[in-house]
Amino acid sequence: MSEYNSVNASPTCPYSLNLTGATSSCLPCKGRWPERPEGCSVTQQDTIELTCDNLDLDNLRADVFIAKSLGVTRAYAQKLIKSGCAENIKKSSQKVILNNIYKITLPEPENNFEIEPEEVKFEVIYEDKDIIVLNKPAGLVTHPGHGNWHKTLAHGLLYKYPDMRLLRNKLRPGIVHRLDAVTSGLMVTARTQEAYEILQKKFQARAITKKYLALAHGVPVKRTGILSGAIGRDPDNKLKMAVIDETHGGKAALTGYEVIKNYNNKFSLIICSLFTGRTHQIRVHLSALGHALYADALYGAPKHETLLNNRIFLHSWRLEFNHPVTNQFMKFCLPLPCELRDILSNLNSTEV
């Protein structure tokens, strides 16, 4: 067994709570992307509008303009033009015109999207020829989409590990799970197609343990529990997810939790265990329970609470799995970053 900076903490979750019904880099151009919840990737036949609003771009070749704007390879930009996906652009050598708007349709990007490697800072915790375990900093988007075309983790992985370009998924090379941009902590990625497919199956089978540390407003009535409200897009706010009945499009979601510290009944430090991987799952479940995360204004925290990189108090703390190739058991634990430790040091705690 391999163990890295591990600590012993195995929360039990004897209670089940069903929340259904609970209240609960500068771009050289401007691109407008259809609104969708943070973290949702590009889908088939999505269209983005690119505006040539910079004098340096005026009279630039169309393929170069598209490549720079979207953070894709020039060859892929040429494919888009040749296949008729660039409105008002007939050929790659065509020159773009200042203040013109160009509509680009992106077909099936999960299979064909070719992003250009860019240097991005992230900490590697462990690596071998098959996998990488890394510390994603808050403020870093996992992969392109939702208006984030440059300097994502996917760009950085391709820059640091050129061999990952051989993976079939060009939009999310090696990425088998994700963290919100406002969240920090541990992630595992694959370096080979074999490892990628095995890790995908492990996540689908819930064979990978993921635990987070969260600071929430107030204190849950029950110290431990499992939150089971289905999650779907909030019908009143496209940027949010919400607890929604499965008959109305919600998808089953399970979040285990254990309160480990009580801060004068004003805040509680909670270990959260993900048994499913819905968008914003922990944030949605705790908010629906009446305990929004610190600095998470989108889900009900006071707007005056702010943290560096517009982050929230949610950190991917612990990751456990069997290696996809060797089957060796691996366990990783990553302490809270300093900006989150500083928040806790300013609170008066009462041991639970």
pLDDT of residue 211 exceeding 60: yes
Query: What average pLDDT does this structure show over 226-233?
Result: 94
Domain with CATH 3.30.2350.10 in the chain: 2-24+116-351
Detail the DSSP E strand segments found in the chain: 2-4, 16-17, 30-32, 46-51, 101-106, 123-127, 131-136, 184-190, 209-217, 224-227, 231-233, 241-243, 255-263, 267-274, 314-322, 329-333, 350-351
Q: Does residue 352 have a pLDDT over 70?
A: no
At residue 57 the predicted structure's pLDDT band, cuts being 50, 70 and 90, is confident
User: What is the model's pLDDT at position 12?
Assistant: 34
Residues of the chain with CATH 3.10.290.10: 45-107
Q: Name the amino acid, one letter, at 259.
A: V
Q: How far apart, in whole angstroms, are the C-alpha atoms of residue 349 and residue 152?
A: 37
* pLDDT 10s digits, 68-124: 777 777 887 888 888 888 888 989 999 988 888 888 887 654 455 678 889 999 999
In the predicted structure, residue 137 carries a pLDDT above the cut 90: yes
With a cut of 90, say whether residue 177 has pLDDT above it.
Answer: yes
Q: What is the pLDDT of residue 147?
A: 63
The model's pLDDT over 31-51, given as tens digits with 9 standing for 90+, comes to 333 333 333 333 445 677 888
Q: What distance lies between CA 104 and its chain's CA centroid?
A: 24
CATH homologous superfamily of 2-24+116-351? Pseudouridine synthase (3.30.2350.10)
**To which residue do tokens 């983005």 refer?**
48
Residues 6+ apart with CB under 8 A from 61: 92, 93, 94, 95, 96
Which of residues 32 and 143 earns the better pLDDT score? Answer: 143
Fold of 45-107: 3.10.290
pLDDT at 158: 93
What is the Cα–Cα distance from 189 to 33, expressed in whole angstroms? 27
Place of tokens 């490549």: 67
C-beta atoms surrounding 312 within 10 Å: 26
Catalytic positions are 180
Q: Please provide the average confidence, as pLDDT, over all residues in the chain.
A: 82
Q: What one-letter code names the amino acid at 130?
A: D
**pTM across the whole model:** 0.72
How many C-beta atoms lie closer than 10 Å to residue 277's C-beta? 15
Token representation of residue 10? 């195995």
**In what order do the strands lie in the sheet containing 46-51?**
30-32, 46-51, 101-106
